[in-house]
Amino acid sequence: MAKARRPAPGAGDNAPPPDWAALRREFPALERWTYFELANKAPLPRCVDAAIADYLRDTREEAGINAHSQAKVAEAREAVARLVDAPASCIAFLKNTSEGINTVARGLRLQPGDNVLIPEDEYWSSVFGFRLLEADGVEVRWVRPVDGVHFPVEAFIARMDAKTRAVAASWVSYVSGARIDVPALTRACRERGIVSVIDAIQAVGVLDLSFAGSGADVIAGGSHKGLLSMPGVGILYLRPEVQARIRPSHGGQHGFVAGQGKEAPLRPWEDARRYEGGNFNYLGLWALARTAGFLRGIGLRHVEARVRALAERLVERAEARGLRVITPRAWEERAGITTIAVAGDPDQVVKRLREKRILANVRGAGAIRVSPHFFNTEEEVDRLVAAL
């Protein structure tokens, strides 16, 4: 599988491995819960508490002089760009992943007879955003996994033709946890003039990835999972060369150069800011700037290595107890999400786990989804498997 790693290390990547026990103490919820639900939402670290307190202090004591500060927006944009290895000029802030994908789906101006490829197990963000175009004569073509789990590049290529305009796929499946070979897929798309649209919400903050190095034309994600922040901030990355192909689907004050008369020719920004609309989720951006810095200080290389060690232990322990792991074994084909088949009703299994203060999730027929992160411990992995 091709790599999409950053060419230069993050702030913490060259440091020795972090003190994971100390970092765990930055998450107050972990004092009461065993948390394996990162693929749903993150427990919030203390730096988010600090960001919220600073925002409220500014609004209460300083009349909010910085509450809607564009300098704070720029600070968050730079923090995210450094974390994901992308130029800040390629990053737009929206509400969530879905809005980012919908912005692209509408902005591509697809014509009747054009088609878009989507994996069968894709999350609703891509499915609904592009299926809305069926009313305009656009065809959605489903890509099937070769074995129920894997989506090799060849499976996408087999569905491409001269009318394929876009491929929309998740970097990591929210159901099986399988990882797509994004660099190979985006290379195949670019060779054929097809726009690649990648949902990275289950990969960003978990894998040591590079948006710029992935070759993707578009990457969408959100703030509330691997980025460890609150919901309500969507991140939309657009490669400079593709921005000219994607027309903004809505207009707002932050998408255009300031100071224009209402009847003057429109002057949208010449970078990804053209896709932004009205007021931002300013509180969410204050928090995201902190968590992006927090993650960069740890180093995504260390984060991925820790997640890998815990996930591999989970697979080993589960299989030793006779449980069937649906997620691929090879690390290059997966991330943190581990989907395990269970006997009986998975909803009842998750309910019983919750009674033991262990949080996991139901995904897929007859299976639960477990998503360890760097703040988990080996003992928690063993306790989860024993509880199954």
User: CA 180, CA 173: separation in Å to the nearest integer?
Assistant: 8
pLDDT at residue number 81: 98
Does the pLDDT of residue 84 top 70, yes or no?
yes
CATH of domain 50-297: 3.40.640.10
Does the pLDDT of residue 8 top 60, yes or no?
no
Q: What is the mean pLDDT of residues 79-106?
A: 97
Residues spanned by CATH 3.90.1150.10 within the chain? 20-36+299-387
Does the pLDDT of residue 237 top 90, yes or no?
yes
Does the pLDDT of residue 4 top 80, yes or no?
no
pLDDT at residue number 6: 59
Does the pLDDT of residue 15 top 90, yes or no?
no
Torsions phi, psi for 219 (to 5 deg):
-135, 130
* Token pair of 196 as six digits: 């690649």
pLDDT at residue number 2: 58
pLDDT at residue number 3: 59
Does the pLDDT of residue 7 top 80, yes or no?
no
pLDDT at residue number 255: 85
pLDDT at residue number 322: 96
Does the pLDDT of residue 160 top 60, yes or no?
yes
- Say if residues 170 and 363 touch (Cβ distance below 8 Å): no
Helices (H) and strands (E) in the chain, counts: 13, 12
pLDDT at residue number 183: 97
Order of strands, sheet of 367-370, starting from the edge strand that comes earlier in the sequence = 338-341, 367-370, 361-362
* Token pair of 328 as six digits: 């691929």
pLDDT at residue number 303: 98
CB contact set of 33 (below 8 Å; sequence gap of 6+): 43, 357, 358, 359
User: CA 348, CA 342: separation in Å to the nearest integer?
Assistant: 10
Point out the least confidently predicted range of 260-269, 280-289, 336-345: 260-269
| Helix, strand, coil % over all residues of the chain, rounded to 5 | 40, 15, 45
Does the pLDDT of residue 338 top 90, yes or no?
yes
CATH of domain 20-36+299-387: 3.90.1150.10
Q: How confident is the model at residue 282 (pLDDT cuts 50, 70, 90)?
A: very high
User: CA 219, CA 238: separation in Å to the nearest integer?
Assistant: 7
Does the pLDDT of residue 50 top 80, yes or no?
yes
| Average confidence score pLDDT of the chain | 94
Does the pLDDT of residue 306 top 90, yes or no?
yes
Q: How confident is the model at residue 364 (pLDDT cuts 50, 70, 90)?
A: confident
**Which position has the token pair 């984060």?**
303
Does the pLDDT of residue 323 top 90, yes or no?
yes
Angle at 366 between CA 363 and CA 370, to 5 degrees: 45
CB contact set of 274 (below 8 Å; sequence gap of 6+): 92, 243, 248, 255, 256, 268
Does the pLDDT of residue 385 top 70, yes or no?
yes
Residues spanned by CATH 3.40.640.10 within the chain? 50-297
pLDDT at residue number 9: 59
Residue 236: which of 100, 86, 382 has the closest Cα? 100
Angle at 220 between CA 219 and CA 221, to 5 degrees: 130
